[in-house]
Amino acid sequence: MSAPATTLTPNTVALMSTKDTPAPATPSTGEATPTQVLAAPEPPMPAGEPTQRPFPVLFVAGLATAGVGAVLMGAGVYAGLHSQSLANDVSQVSAQHGTWTAQDQSNYDSGKSSATAANVLYVTGAIALAGGGVLTWLGWPRSQAVTAAVAPTPAGASVALVALF
């Protein structure tokens, strides 16, 4: 028959034997000595605790990418407003049947360039925002908690499955 296990350190356990294996006794106490040391399993993580470190690389990269996407979208708004302002100037000259000057041609060309830049910035900003969202989601610390429940109802049964993400 074995005596109860005695904890030596947080991750090791010494099994004490009193009958199965003859163990030398100490002259003063007569206690048995440890005969086998086994590694104890790591304690399970409590439900709801993240299994990853608080700021994994994908999480931070996702936030940075989404931030860049937001800045690109803001620059697209600015370029679009600038393009609209130049288009209004050109339209005003046309509506007043004014003389088309070199400055008006420059405003027209600059407005077209600003509109193109706005469209490019909108698209790249949206792609960066979406990519940042995906990276943030992939890098989000996961929880091991998945809860399932079955409950009786008057019409049969109800099943619920809850997973944290």
Dump pLDDT digits (tens) for 61-116: 999 999 999 999 999 999 999 999 999 999 998 888 888 889 989 999 999 999 99
Cβ-Cβ contacts under 8 Å for 31 (sequence gap 6 or more): 25
3-class secondary structure for 41-82?
CCCCCCCCCECCCCCCHHHHHHHHHHHHHHHHHHHHHHHHHH
What is the pLDDT at residue 17?
39
21 pLDDT tier (thresholds 50, 70, 90): very low
Please provide the distance, in angstroms rounded to a whole number, between the alpha carbons at the two ends of the chain: 48
| Statement: residue 6 has pLDDT above 70 | no
What is the pLDDT at residue 24?
52
Rounded alpha-carbon distances, angstroms, from residue 59 to 50, 71, 125, 133, 148: 13, 19, 19, 9, 28
Query: Domain locations in the chain?
Result: 6-39, 57-139
**Most confidently predicted of 8-17, 21-30, 105-114, 132-141:** 105-114
Q: Is 20 helix (H, G, I), strand (E, B) or coil?
A: coil
**If you average pLDDT over residues 9-24, what whole number do you get?**
43
**pTM for the model:** 0.54
DSSP run (H or E) holding 123: helix 102-139
d(CA 99, CA 112): 20
Q: Return the closest-CA partner of residue 126 out of 59, 74, 63.
A: 74
